[in-house]
Amino acid sequence: MKRFKLVVAYDGTNYCGWQIQPNGITIEEVLNKTLSDFLKEEIHIIGASRTDSGVHSFGNVAVFDSETTIPAEKLCFALNPQLPEDIRIVSSAQVADDFHPRYCDTRKTYEYHIQNGKIPLPTERLYSHLVIFPLDVEAMQEAGQYLVGTHDFKSFCASKTQAQTTVRTVTGIEVETHSLSEGEYPSQKVIIRVTGEGFLYNMVRIISGTLIKVGLGVYPPEHVKEILAACDRSKAGETVPAKGLFLKKIEYL
């Protein structure tokens, strides 16, 4: 028996998140069935990040155990034709038998994508949150720096969390822009990139909603310090829609 690691990219639009659940199809369910059918043995993968319904990924990580003799690095090429087009194995490798994707020290990077413009672009409708009023990206970048470090992020956590502690370490926040369209009503993509050692439920989406309020001039950048200190979810911005959130990468330290 060998343990294999997969790096998985997916479009989360048509899935009820990563983790198997009774109310709809999930990424984990599709991978389990595809691997079991292809390898002719019962496979149950273990995922590193249980992304929510509608969230996308460039690089979630999963492991599974198998007796297969297919070379580890070739598994991705063998599996991808068996998968639906909105799920792809980016890479595959053999790892130590005791490697667990959730119990190792990691650094995760998420991105939140915003289309900032008056006209909704069809190509962005499934992958970006539309904000029609101009965003002050410099103010958003300044505000984000108040969240870098080890803090109690209770203000930026959904109330139904089961986490034992709301203290987390954010190692970096960046806000950048890319042009999407020109003309009378130009549009740009604003990307909020958050890197940290661990995240609370909806934490990145609430951080993004708060930075959007800063970008719109509702809050001055320094107000984020007060929101953080309040440890009160009601003080922060809205939880923005899942469709703009991407799990960019997971680094094992």
DSSP 55-84: -EEEEEEEEEEE---S-GGGHHHHHGGGS-
Asked whether residue 24 falls in the same domain as residue 55, the answer is yes
Asked whether residue 145 falls in the same domain as residue 84, the answer is no
Determine whether 37 is an active site residue. Answer: no
Kindly state whether residue 100 falls inside one of the protein's structural domains.
no
List residues bridging with 6 in a β-sheet. 62, 92
List residues bridging with 187 in a β-sheet. 181
CB 118 within 8 A of CB 130: no
Q: Collapsing DSSP states into helix, strand and coil, what is residue 229?
A: helix
Give the model's pLDDT for residue 215: 98
Kindly state whether residue 200 falls inside one of the protein's structural domains.
yes
Kindly state whether residue 188 falls inside one of the protein's structural domains.
yes
Q: Which residues of 13-25 are buried (b: 16+ CB within 10 A; e: fewer)?
A: eebbbbeeeeeee
- Nearest to residue 138, comparing CAs of 114, 174, 112, 170? 174
Kindly state whether residue 26 falls inside one of the protein's structural domains.
yes
CATH number at residue 222: 3.30.70.660
Chain CA centroid to CA 43, Å: 25
Asked whether residue 59 falls in the same domain as residue 119, the answer is no
Asked whether residue 227 falls in the same domain as residue 124, the answer is yes
Give the model's pLDDT for residue 131: 98
DSSP summary character for residue 19 = S
Asked whether residue 209 falls in the same domain as residue 110, the answer is yes
Asked whether residue 80 falls in the same domain as residue 37, the answer is yes
What residue numbers bound the domain in which 88 lies? 1-92
Give the model's pLDDT for residue 97: 94
Instruction: Return d(Cα 157, Cα 5) in angstroms, integer.
Output: 30
Asked whether residue 83 falls in the same domain as residue 115, the answer is no
Instruction: Count Cα neighbours of 156 within 13 Å in the Cβ-side half-sphere.
Output: 26
Tell whether 110 is in a known binding site. yes
Dihedrals phi, psi of 118, to nearest 5 degrees: -80, -25
Per-block average pLDDT, block size 10, for the chain (253 residues)? 97 96 94 98 96 96 97 97 98 96 93 97 97 98 98 92 90 97 94 96 97 98 97 96 98 92
| Residues sharing a CB contact under 8 Å with residue 78, sequence separation 6 or more, in sequence order | 38, 70
Which among 11, 52, 86, 136 is annotated as catalytic? 52
Number of domains in the chain: 2
Instruction: Return d(Cα 202, Cα 191) in angstroms, integer.
Output: 17
